[in-house]
């Protein structure tokens, strides 16, 4: 292994002078710190170092804030000069360099905390700082920021007039300004407090009581890894020691269950999910494949899994951990030695990168000149030799790292490329890049939201097992979202779905075990926002996809109370509707089949609810003699319901009982309630009974004789048009069959008014004025849409004056008209093609999207689905065909019914 820490000169000052041409920062220090340079020429680095620490400690005793800031910054420059000299000359080994860097940080934090506390005239009793990360392990790098967390014991810390919480916050904020503010003298240490519990919701100083509750309830495994290195460093150290002991059970568990171990494995998979295609040319010494982080993670994961049972593993420093793991037989001697040597060499490179400009960077420069400077600081004159050796070290580290966990587990659900890291507090740059490549428009928000999931912000992730399951799922979930072509929409609706889970363990376990179900779920969420919202409100519907009951029917126990029957029907319909919509969305049902399935479900529900309504009405008001039926009209009559269709129905009865009008009115009102009322289980359908005689002004239940008389003597043309789609749904004693015969005779005997076409044209004109169409994708009301198609067919049916004029299915009606020579072959072909295309697109549209749509609002994935539904090669072909079809239907309507005022002719 090539060494990267060869001495530049045996004399520390000589080494600095050799390094200066390659490190502008060191050159500036040499020029500015002349007194330190002179002292270094006369005495040892150790003596100078001790004097620096002593001066920092004296700051704590008697300096005000401004003086403290100046003196600490001067001490930082002197410390950097001495440490660089000792490092580059080889006088001190790496362990001494990192230990002294940490000692400087400890002393500086202690001094700043003391000064900040005295500024508001308080005692620091009960207030303390915990060093985390590299500072906690005494492994700080040359230009490291420091990860610390501030706590106060509310039973010990006296906050004065402001109270403990506010005073602790003010002191810690002041401490950070003393250390981090950039002044004319520079800065001391960049101070990061974001490893405290839930940093987005907690103040910079956290009470020990709150911290203990947090770690006991929602502390995550990555936070346990953070706390492996935790060490009291400033303030009330005795109080700090008590706190660390109290949360020790959170860090070190004697018994780790399967899910905790699996979560640790999943964290590793996220940290570098594309390990098989690792780019060893990545210039990042820390985060790149085979870098410092992989060595640290190798040690920490083993400590986390085994340290609860083996206290010998509870050490902070990475090299110490590797040694203990090897001694315990958990890591081979070869691997431990290889990783230890590599760790020292990579840390040496990291220091030399940072010595160049005092920058908190871990990346090798990309330019040949600057890279040569780093190589020169490592004692290597040829940067190509340096690069080759650097790659060799990382390749070996990376191979050992890959072998840490089972290869199959590592590859399972790995991301297609790049990192997926959601641990810690800073967005990982590689993860931001990966999420962008997946199609997420705001990857920072994705990381923030996922972090919230892990902090237990949703009920589904408030248990440890729920969070561990989520961690295991994440790589696969994000890949599946990318596959939809609309990652943002998929994520948004998955978050809603996750947020509505009352308990996440069962559902997340199911998604982890059923990978196809997971992919299916994500695709559904992305393609169909409307269906996604329903699934978000009722996530239990997902279980229906695993074991759908083919051929099941709604059967209600006749002993059920009316309200219970309503809820039972709602549960059944909700699940069956979801299954139908899901199959339609994913191409397992044609639009025609979906329309029939939705309609058959509505038929079952009406029949069951009518039976329940009859029982309830009889229970409350007594039984009555007479027969009744429920007939369907509109889309339900034509068995062409969509996911959002309301139900056009009519209740017709035949009875001579004087109480019949009241009784059947009450029965119908209960039927409407059973179908449309909102209960704890939701709503079934919107019910529209305006097609009954006299519409809103007439009785809700229609007597058979009144039905026949009205339609023979008083009905409007549009009401006869509606009768062409009449179809029985529920029946008692054959009354529906009689209603159908009456309807057929009405359509035969109804006078063929000269004004029939004019009536229909006026009605179409009025409808266009009240509900104008909205562009190409208004499939119903737009010019050349389904309303025009239905008006054309119904006009021709009424013109036939035939018993077969009552033909509820549009396709059957079109074929009938062709047989009766009301349509030419060309007209028939156009109407059949229009019915097929418009119905297919409307089924997907109503299922997937709420409200008006345009091509700009349709996702790429949904465009593909629409193309499949329309049997077209792509979405452009769909729109081209749609324009042609609608233009053809509009032209036919203008020829047979007439033009609409203000309409413009469509073109294709």
The pLDDT of residue 232 is 97
Is residue 531 within a helix (H) or strand (E), and if so which, with residue range? Answer: helix 529-537
- Percent of the chain predicted with pLDDT > 90: 64
What does the pLDDT look like over 749-789, one tens digit per residue?
Answer: 876 666 889 999 999 999 999 988 888 999 999 999 999 99
The pLDDT of residue 466 is 84
- Percent of the chain predicted with pLDDT > 70: 93
pLDDT of residue 595 exceeding 60, the answer is: yes
Enumerate residues 6+ apart whose C-beta is below 8 A from 513: none
pLDDT of residue 635 exceeding 50, the answer is: yes
**Rounded Cα–Cα distance for residues 57 and 222 (Å):** 34
- How confident is the model over 284-311, as a mean pLDDT? 88
Give residue 564's Cα distance to chain centre.
36
Comparing 263-277, 445-459, 625-639, the range with the smallest average pLDDT is 263-277
Collapsed DSSP state (helix, strand, coil) of residue 65: helix
Q: Answer whether 76's CB lies under 8 Å from 188's CB.
A: yes
Comparing 232-236, 237-241, 464-468, 740-744, the range with the smallest average pLDDT is 464-468
pLDDT of residue 209 exceeding 60, the answer is: yes
pLDDT of residue 257 exceeding 60, the answer is: no
pTM of the entire structure?
A: 0.67
Mean pLDDT of the chain: 89
The pLDDT of residue 901 is 85
The pLDDT of residue 777 is 92
The pLDDT of residue 799 is 92
**What is residue 362's DSSP assignment?**
-
**Rounded Cα–Cα distance for residues 462 and 66 (Å):** 46
Question: What count of Cα atoms within 13 Å lies in the side-chain half-sphere of residue 298?
Answer: 33
Tell me the C-alpha to C-alpha distance, in Å, between residue 789 and each of 203, 332, 636, 777, 833: 65, 78, 17, 15, 11
What does the pLDDT look like over 848-903, one tens digit per residue?
Answer: 887 667 788 788 888 888 999 999 999 999 999 999 999 999 999 999 999 988 78
Tell me the C-alpha to C-alpha distance, in Å, between residue 94 and each of 8, 48, 139, 391, 641: 15, 18, 9, 21, 75
Tell me the C-alpha to C-alpha distance, in Å, between residue 148 and each of 33, 128, 197, 229, 825: 29, 10, 11, 11, 82
- How confident is the model over 133-152, as a mean pLDDT? 96
Question: What count of Cα atoms within 13 Å lies in the side-chain half-sphere of residue 274?
Answer: 16
The pLDDT of residue 510 is 84
Collapsed DSSP state (helix, strand, coil) of residue 458: coil
The pLDDT of residue 404 is 72
Tell me the C-alpha to C-alpha distance, in Å, between residue 880 and each of 788, 837, 867: 19, 12, 11
Count CB neighbours of 428 within 10 A. Answer: 20
- In degrees and rounded to multiples of 5, residue 141 shows phi and psi of -95, 175
- SS (HEC) of 90-116: CCCCHHHHHHHHHHHHHHHHHHHHHHH
Q: At what angle do helices 786-800 and 825-848 cross, to 10 degrees?
A: 140
DSSP 781-811: TSTTSHHHHHHHHHHHHHHH-SGGG---SHH
The pLDDT of residue 808 is 95
**Rounded Cα–Cα distance for residues 110 and 116 (Å):** 10
- What is the pLDDT confidence band of residue 405, given thresholds at 50, 70 and 90? low
The pLDDT of residue 276 is 45
pLDDT of residue 100 exceeding 70, the answer is: yes
Count CB neighbours of 901 within 10 A. Answer: 8
Q: Answer whether 898's CB lies under 8 Å from 783's CB.
A: no
- What is the pLDDT confidence band of residue 414, given thresholds at 50, 70 and 90? very low
pLDDT of residue 548 exceeding 60, the answer is: no
Count CB neighbours of 780 within 10 A. Answer: 17
The pLDDT of residue 413 is 46
pLDDT of residue 491 exceeding 60, the answer is: yes
**Rounded Cα–Cα distance for residues 348 and 88 (Å):** 9
């Amino acid at each position: 292994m090539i060494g990267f820490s060869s001495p530049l000169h045996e004399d520390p000052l000589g080494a600095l002078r050799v390094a200066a041409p390659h490190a502008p920062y060191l050159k500036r220090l040499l020029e500015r710190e002349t007194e330190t340079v002179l002292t270094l020429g006369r005495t040892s680095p150790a003596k100078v170092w001790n004097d620096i620490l002593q001066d920092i400690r004296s700051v704590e005793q008697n300096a005000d804030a401004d003086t403290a800031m100046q003196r600490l910054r001067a001490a930082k420059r002197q410390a950097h000069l001495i440490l660089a000299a000792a490092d580059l000359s080889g006088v001190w080994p790496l362990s001494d360099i990192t230990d002294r860097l940490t000692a400087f940080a400890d002393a500086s934090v202690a001094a700043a905390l003391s000064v900040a506390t005295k500024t508001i005239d308080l005692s620091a009793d009960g207030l303390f700082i915990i060093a985390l990360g590299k500072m906690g392990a005494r492994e700080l790098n040359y230009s490291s920021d420091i990860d610390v967390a501030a706590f106060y014991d509310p039973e010990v810390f006296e906050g004065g007039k402001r109270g403990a919480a506010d005073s602790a916050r003010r002191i810690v904020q002041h401490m950070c300004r003393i250390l981090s503010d950039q002044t004319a003298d520079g800065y001391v240490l960049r101070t990061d407090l974001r490893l405290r519990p839930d940093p987005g919701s907690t103040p910079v100083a956290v009470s020990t009581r709150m911290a203990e509750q947090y770690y006991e309830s929602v502390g995550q495994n990555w936070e346990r890894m953070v706390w492996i290195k935790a060490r009291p460093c400033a303030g009330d150290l005795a109080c700090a020691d008590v706190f660390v002991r109290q949360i020790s059970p959170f860090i070190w568990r004697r018994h780790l269950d399967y899910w905790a171990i699996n979560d640790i494995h999943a964290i590793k998979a996220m940290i570098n999910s594309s390990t098989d295609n690792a780019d060893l040319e990545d210039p990042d010494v820390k985060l790149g494949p085979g870098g410092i982080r992989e060595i640290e993670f190798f040690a920490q994961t083993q400590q986390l899994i085994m340290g609860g049972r083996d206290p010998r593993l509870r050490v902070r420093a990475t090299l110490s951990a590797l040694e203990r793991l090897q001694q315990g037989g958990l890591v081979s001697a070869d691997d431990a030695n290889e990783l230890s040597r590599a760790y020292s060499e990579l840390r040496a490179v990291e220091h030399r990168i940072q010595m160049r400009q005092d920058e908190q960077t871990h990346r090798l420069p990309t330019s040949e000149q600057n890279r040569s400077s780093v190589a020169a600081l490592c004692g290597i004159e040829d940067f190509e030799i340096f690069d080759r050796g650097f790659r060799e070290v990382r390749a070996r580290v990376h191979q050992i790292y890959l072998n840490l966990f089972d290869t199959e587990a590592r590859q399972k659900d790995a991301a297609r490329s790049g990192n997926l890291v959601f641990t810690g507090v800073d967005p990982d740059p590689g993860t931001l890049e990966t999420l962008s490549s997946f199609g997420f428009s705001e990857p920072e928000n994705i990381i923030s939201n996922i972090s919230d999931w892990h902090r237990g912000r949703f009920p589904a992730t408030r248990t440890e097992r729920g969070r561990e399951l989520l961690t295991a799922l994440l790589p696969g979930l994000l890949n599946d979202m990318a596959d939809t072509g609309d990652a943002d929409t998929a994520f948004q609706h998955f978050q809603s779905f996750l947020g509505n889970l009352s308990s996440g363990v069962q559902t997340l376990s199911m998604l982890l075990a059923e990978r196809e179900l997971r992919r299916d779920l994500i695709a559904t969420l992305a393609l169909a926002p409307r269906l996604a919202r329903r699934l978000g409100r009722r996530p239990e519907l997902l279980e229906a996809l695993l074991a759908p009951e083919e051929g099941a029917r709604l059967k209600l126990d006749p002993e059920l109370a009316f309200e219970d029957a309503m809820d039972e029907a709602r549960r059944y319909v909700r699940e069956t509707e979801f299954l139908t919509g899901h199959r339609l969305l994913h191409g397992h049902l044609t639009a025609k089949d979906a329309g029939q399935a939705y309609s058959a479900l509505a038929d079952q529900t009406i029949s069951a609810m009518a039976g329940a309504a009859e029982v309830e009405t009889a229970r409350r008001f007594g039984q009555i003699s007479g027969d009744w039926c429920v007939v369907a009209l509109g889309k339900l009559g034509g068995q062409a319901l969509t996911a959002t269709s309301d139900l056009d129905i009519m209740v017709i009865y035949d009875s001579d009982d004087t109480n019949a009008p009241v009784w059947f009115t009450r029965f119908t009102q209960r039927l409407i309630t059973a179908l449309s009322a909102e209960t704890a289980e939701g709503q079934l359908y919107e019910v529209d009974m305006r097609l009954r005689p006299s519409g809103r002004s007439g009785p809700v239940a229609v007597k058979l004789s009144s039905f026949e008389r009205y339609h023979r003597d008083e009905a409007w043309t549009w009401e006869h048009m509606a009768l062409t789609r009449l179809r029985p749904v529920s029946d008692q004693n054959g009354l529906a069959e009689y209603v159908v015969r009456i309807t057929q005779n009405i359509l035969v005997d109804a006078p063929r008014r000269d004004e029939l076409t004019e009536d229909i044209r006026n009605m179409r004109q009025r409808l266009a004025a009240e509900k104008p169409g909205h562009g190409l994708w208004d499939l119903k009301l737009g010019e050349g849409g389904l309303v025009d198609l239905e008006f054309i067919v119904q006009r021709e049916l009424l013109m036939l004056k035939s018993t077969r004029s009552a033909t509820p299915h549009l396709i059957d009606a079109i074929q009938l008209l062709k047989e009766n020579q009301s349509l030419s072959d060309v007209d028939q072909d156009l109407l059949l093609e229009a019915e097929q295309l418009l119905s297919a697109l409307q089924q997907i549209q109503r299922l997937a999207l709420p409200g008006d749509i345009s091509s700009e609002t349709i996702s790429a994935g949904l465009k593909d689905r629409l193309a499949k539904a329309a049997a077209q090669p792509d979405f452009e072909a769909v729109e081209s065909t749609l324009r042609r079809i609608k233009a053809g239907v509009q032209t036919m309507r203008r020829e047979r019914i007439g033009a609409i005022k203000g309409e413009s002719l469509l073109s294709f």
